Amino acid sequence: MMQNIDLVDETYDINTINTYCLSIRVSLDGLSFCIADKQQQKIVAFKHYQNNNVADTEDLAELVSRMLHDEKSLPKYPIKTTILYVTPNYTLVPESIFIKEKAKLLLSTTHQLEDLDEIHYLKLEKLQAWLIYAFPSTLANKLTALFPSAQLVPQVYPFLQRLDEEKHNESIFVGIHVNEMFFDLAIYKQNDLQLINSYSYKAPSDVVFYLTTALTTLGHQEVSILFSGATEEEMEIIPALKKFYPNTINDPFSGNYTLCYKIQDHLKARFSNLFYSATCE
């Protein structure tokens, strides 16, 4: 099990104005945050607190609110705050059929929602589509009370942004990000997004199965896979993928910002969406 992590660069000063962007990742497994320095184009702080006894989102909301309220390393004047909620409850809808008033209905047809879930949506201009997602209201209320101007997004949002920078006119390009209980899978065919979805898993073979099934209709030739999330040491997913897809690359972080030298590669892989979302773009 991952332990608490506390990494702060010597150049970081919480009192500096108009310099820092803050990104917070909230999941049932823990609370994490990182801070990007716009002037240095560098991630200057990263912390992770492991949750071991959180049963539901209401307990999580109370714990996260208390921890963030007491946290002494948060910048006093962030120019941007992004909050990632790790959830499989999202869907992508083409712009041509999206109706805001029907967003909850569209999401509930494919996902089981809680009564107190808030329905949010974001327009993805490059994909000409809307991302619809659920955010627990108890958690949203606690977080917006602390950070009124924060953007609340699911982890798949920076995941798609990262992939958009990495795809290079390949026949079949695949992005996989493994979360604690599920993984996000995106498949592009000649730069066009063909699939974005989440799948639960218990073993590396589950990831291979869902990927192979999804690729069947698209063909397997020249498949390139960009992998991030849970590390090879924990899940052995990369060796399993490489047996069938040799062009599998473990590329834990993409973006224009460098990372503090203290942040190890396995952390860059696991928290790549968090680091990417912190950059002040």
The answer to whether residues 191 and 260 belong to one domain is: no
Q: Are residues 224 and 199 in the same domain?
A: yes
Q: Are 38 and 75 in contact (CB under 8 A)?
A: no
Q: 38 and 66: one domain?
A: yes
212 and 183 share a domain?
Answer: yes
What is the overall mean pLDDT for the chain?
A: 90
CA distance 187 to 46: 30
Q: Where are the alpha helices (DSSP H) in the chain?
A: 57-70, 103-108, 137-146, 156-166, 204-215, 232-235, 237-244, 265-270, 272-278
Residues 235 and 259 in one domain: no
Residue among 227, 232, 228, 276 at smallest CA distance from 254:
276
Tokens of 188: 């592009």
Give residue 150's pLDDT band: very low, low, confident or very high (50, 70, 90): very high
Q: Can you give the pLDDT at residue 89?
A: 96
CATH number at residue 217: 3.30.420.260
Taking the C-alpha atoms of residue 204 and residue 178, their distance in angstroms, rounded to an integer, is 10
Quote the percentage of the chain above a pLDDT of 90. 64
Examine the domain organization and report whether 266 and 231 are in the same domain. no
pLDDT of residue 1 exceeding 60:
no
Read off the pLDDT of residues 21-62 as tens digits, 9 standing for 90 and up. 999 999 988 899 999 999 999 999 999 998 877 778 888 899
Is 259 a domain residue? yes
The answer to whether residue 48 sits within a structural domain is yes
The pLDDT of residue 44 is 95
Note whether residue 10 is domain-resident.
Answer: yes
- With respect to residue 115, please indicate whether it lies within any of the assigned structural domains: no
Residue 58: per-residue pLDDT: 86
Burial (CB < 10 A; 0-12, 13-18, 19+), residue 21, is buried
Is 145 inside a domain boundary? no
pLDDT grade for 250, boundaries at 50, 70 and 90: confident
Same domain, 245 and 170: yes
Q: Is the domain of 201 the same as that of 271?
A: no
- The reply to whether 238 falls in a domain is yes
Domain that holds residue 236: 166-250
205/263 same-domain check? no
- Looking at the 3D structure of the chain, how many domains does it have? 2
Same domain membership, residue 74 and residue 14: yes
Which of 85-89, 113-117, 152-156 comes out lowest in average pLDDT? 113-117
Measure the CA–CA gap between 177 and 183, rounded to whole angstroms: 6
Clarify whether residues 246 and 258 are in a common domain. no
Q: What is the pLDDT of residue 233?
A: 67
- Indicate whether 175 and 244 sit together in one domain: yes
Residue at 91 is within a domain: no
Residue 47 lies in a domain: yes
Instruction: Note the pLDDT tens digit of each residue in 63-113.
Output: 999 999 999 999 999 999 999 999 999 999 999 999 999 999 999 998 989
We report the CATH number of the domain holding residue 43 as 3.30.420.250
